[in-house]
């Protein structure tokens, strides 16, 4: 999430009651979780396992629960509970504003766009020209929809990320990370009925120009779908995964988190993608393999009884 304007890190430290170590004159421009950080961002870490990753990331400011040597160019904000400090910053700059009407007066809707009955459009939503938003669609706050986009009935755009800070040494093991990212849908996209597209935890979930989604698809937080992709019904894609341009995922494909699918990859139905795959190939199966290799394997498996009978009847073979 980008802050409305650069903010003094001293002011941020006072907001969360943190001890500052390092550059005290710098200004923060955003707040992000570790997978999405950029220079100028604030990130938090509360477990030694991830100290090094955060301290060596692109983030300029690290909220941390231990004093340590400050890496060059970084500023540390030392607090007892980094997660709670992170939430305080997010809620200050991205406070929840309850809706008062079905279509917010702050929403911007373009020319020749049709909004059907019972559509909910939240605060600061921007919808382009020549779109059709069918009945019972919900578009949560701050989402952006381009031109010539069609969204079918029952779809939810911008619901919260399924993302938690989990620790077993407290009464509530899984504490919700407040979602402050957005969903951005580019021009000429069509989204089927009853799809659910989560906003990013702190960055954006994106669907590229010309991509087409069937019914009953789920996109997790900060998924990036490239241009001109085809995604068939009942596909589920976990958070942080990136699809290149021209990717085709057929029905009921399951995709693991934070992996990459290369340009023009084709994945056959009911496959399970557990790690990154190259583009310009066709895949199938769980765990996934190249389609033609998997098909040869299945043909050979079907022939095993026949092959075994031949082996048993070889000359000199004991009966």
List of E strands, 227-319: 230-231, 236-237, 242-243, 248-249, 254-255, 260-261, 266-267, 272-273, 282-284, 289-290
Distances (CA, A) of 180 to 86, 177, 204, 258: 11, 9, 9, 19
Complete DSSP assignment for 105-134: TT-EE-TT-EE-TT-EE-TT-EE-SS-EE-
Encoding tokens for residue 9?
């890190």
Q: What is the DSSP letter of 181?
A: -
- Indicate if 221 belongs to the active site: yes
Catalytic site residue from 134, 152, 218, 221: 221
For residues 281 and 84, give the distance between their C-alpha atoms in angstroms, rounded to a whole number. Answer: 45
- Positions annotated as catalytic residues are 221
């Amino acid at each position: 999430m980008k802050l409305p304007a650069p903010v003094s890190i001293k002011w941020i430290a006072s907001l969360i009651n943190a001890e500052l170590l390092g550059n005290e004159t710098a200004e923060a421009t955003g707040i992000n979780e570790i997978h999405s950080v950029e220079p100028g961002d604030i990130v938090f870490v509360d477990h030694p396992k991830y100290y090094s990753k955060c301290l060596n990331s692109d983030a300029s400011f690290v909220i941390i629960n231990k004093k340590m040597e400050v890496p060059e160019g970084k500023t540390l904000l030392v607090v007892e509970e980094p997660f709670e400090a992170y939430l305080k910053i997010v809620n200050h700059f991205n406070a929840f504003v309850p809706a008062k009407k079905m279509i917010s007066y702050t929403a911007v809707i373009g020319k020749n766009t049709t909004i059907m009955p019972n559509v909910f459009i939240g605060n600061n939503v921007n919808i382009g020209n020549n779109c059709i938003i069918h009945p019972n669609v919900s578009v949560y706050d701050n989402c952006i929809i381009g031109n010539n986009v069609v969204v079918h009935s029952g779809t939810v755009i911008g619901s919260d990320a399924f993302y938690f800070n989990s620790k077993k040494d407290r009464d509530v093991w899984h504490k919700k990370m407040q979602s402050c990212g957005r969903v951005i849908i580019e021009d000429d996209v069509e989204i089927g009925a009853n799809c659910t597209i989560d906003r990013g935890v702190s960055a954006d979930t994106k669907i590229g120009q010309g991509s087409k989604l069937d019914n009953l698809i789920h996109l997790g937080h900060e998924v990036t779908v490239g241009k001109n992709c085809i995604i068939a019904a009942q596909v589920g894609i976990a958070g942080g995964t990136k699809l290149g341009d021209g990717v085709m995922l057929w029905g009921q494909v399951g995709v693991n988190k934070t992996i990459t699918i290369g340009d023009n990859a084709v994945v056959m139905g009911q496959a399970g993608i557990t790690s990154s795959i190259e583009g310009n190939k066709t895949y199938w199966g769980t765990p996934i393999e190249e389609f033609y290799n998997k098909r040869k394997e299945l043909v050979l498996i079907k022939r095993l009884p026949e092959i075994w009978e031949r082996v048993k009847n070889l000359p000199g073979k004991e009966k």
